[in-house]
Amino acid sequence: MFNIILFGPPGSGKGTQSELLINNFGLTHISTGDVLRSEIEGGTKLGIEAKKYMDDGQLVPDEVVIGMIEELVRNNKEAKGFIFDGFPRTTAQAAALDAFLAANNMPIDVLVSLDVPEEELKTRLIERGKVSGRSDDNAEVILQRIQEYYNKTKAVEDHYAAQSKLAKIEGVGSVESIASSIAKVIERLTPVK
């Protein structure tokens, strides 16, 4: 089993790179952002609650996303590994994920952190906002999301660095060249494709 966290600020390319990893390595993709958006679309109680935070560019409360992740992992017992995309986003989420995975004997192998300068993040998300229809892809909310990343999420890097599991990747360049850098990290850690 191989478990990877794709990490980085909003717009760093986590979702984009996850798509390629699913195809290349056959890992099961868990994106908290995607799950939350589908809950919003379905008009569920969880979705209605989450929307209040997402529309303001804030993180959804830890207890909501932690429970969601544990259920998704439990429902995918046959997976040969997971890509955690957009989770964990706080050190409390990281500690909960570590404890849950340790109890199931399936630790995280690596956290790949995509490094992208703030100006580039804003440009990408404003561009995406023109076509995505996402209510959180507008200039004001984008700034709030980036702020939230530096205030609450960036520390997750240190959490995994302390476990010698941090791999930093240059997140600017072609999608293919970034995918190839991530693939090299994975191949170094696991001989089996």
List interacting residues with ligand B4P (CB under 6 A). 8, 10-16, 32-33, 36, 53-54, 59-60, 65, 86-87, 89, 93, 124, 128, 136, 145, 175, 178
Nearest to 111 by CA among 149, 148, 85, 77: 85
In the block, which residue shows the tokens 């989420």? 93
Least distance (Å) between residue 167 CB and ligand B4P? 17
Q: Compare residues 75 and 105 and give the one whose CB is closer to ligand B4P.
A: 75
Q: Which is nearer to ligand B4P, 170 or 187 (CB)?
A: 170
User: Which residue's CB comes closest to ligand B4P?
Assistant: 33
3-state secondary structure 136-160: CCCHHHHHHHHHHHHHHHCHHHHHH
Tell me whether residue 59 or residue 108 sits nearer to ligand B4P (CB atom): 59
28 CB neighbour count, 10 Å cutoff: 16
- Per-residue CA distances from 179 to 1, 77, 104, 128 (Å): 20, 26, 29, 20
Active site residues per annotation: 14, 89, 128, 134, 145
- In 10 A of CB 164, how many CB atoms? 7
State the nearest-atom distance from the C-beta of 112 to ligand B4P, in Å. Answer: 12
Closer CB to ligand B4P, 136 or 182, in the complex: 136
Residue 159 Cβ vs ligand B4P, minimum distance, rounded to whole Å: 14
Shortest spacing between CB 76 and ligand B4P, in angstroms: 17
Tokens found for residue 72: 């998704």
